[in-house]
Amino acid sequence: MLKNLYRSEIMQDGYRLSKLDTYYAPPEGTLAEALNYVSQLPLDEDPEVFGLHSNANLAFDLKTVGYFFDTVLVMQPRASGGKSAKTPEELVTDLCVAMRNDLPANMDISKAHPDTFAETEKGVINSLGVFVRQELERFNKLLGVIRVNLVQLEKAIQGTVVMSMDLEKMFGNFLDGKVPLAWTDNALGYPCLKPLGSYMKDLIKRIEFMSGWLYNGPPLSYWVPSFFFPQGFITASM
């Protein structure tokens, strides 16, 4: 970025500092003229000034709004008034119990339909069978982690285990209706922008679809967005 500034051409009037017409070397003049030029510059710099694509503004705005909402959530009261109102601990405990009851059991690959992992003439599992096995393993791993997290958070609220930093963050996420970061991390979960309630409903539907494929054989149509890696499904189909 500095190479565009520290060069001999900067001494020429009108030398462009970027592709934008706004930024250029002003003509030689008085201090007042220089200040007048500076006062006309926009308060918000265009990403082009820093050699960035215009989409950088989108990423910046999203991050700024995210910080704003997080600050608002931190400032809001956690306890409700009235004798009958539940405490934050009671709210999160009830939520953990409800989610644990709704969470499907892990899928048993050993009970698969014969067509799910059917072998080719060469004696190897067909490509779609390999793909769905990998997907099932990922979903089972995610279900196991969610189940353990819910139990651990309940115990932490009861005081029978230590409230670790991760559990404390999860506690705050549940109060705010957010999905814990651990559940959407690339190493474990799938990308999802839904709030907590919608995330759980969506997860259950995904498990129902994958269970149908596992126990009843390949379906007539496929819910492509339900997969961890839809591109893997396309490759396996080809």
Residue 60 sits in the same domain as residue 104: no
Whether residue 69 is found in the same domain as residue 149:
no
Give tens-digit pLDDT for 45-54: 888 888 888 8
Q: Does the pTM exceed 0.75?
A: no
φ, ψ for residue 52 (rounded to 5)? -105, 160
Q: Is pLDDT above 90 for 23?
A: no
Residue 125 β-bridge partners = 119
Domain ranges, residue 156: 88-237
82 part of a folded domain: no
Tracing tokens 């004798």 back to the chain, one arrives at 83
Q: Report how far residue 137's alpha carbon sits from residue 121's, in angstroms, rounded to the nearest whole number.
A: 25
Q: CB neighbours (10 Å) of residue 204?
A: 13
Q: Across the chain, which distance is largest between two alpha carbons, in Å?
A: 86
Is 132 in contact with 210 (CB distance < 8 Å)?
yes
Helix (H) or strand (E) holding 140: helix 127-158
**Do 208 and 92 belong together in one domain?**
yes
What's the whole-number average pLDDT of the chain?
89
Total tally of structural domains belonging to the chain = 2
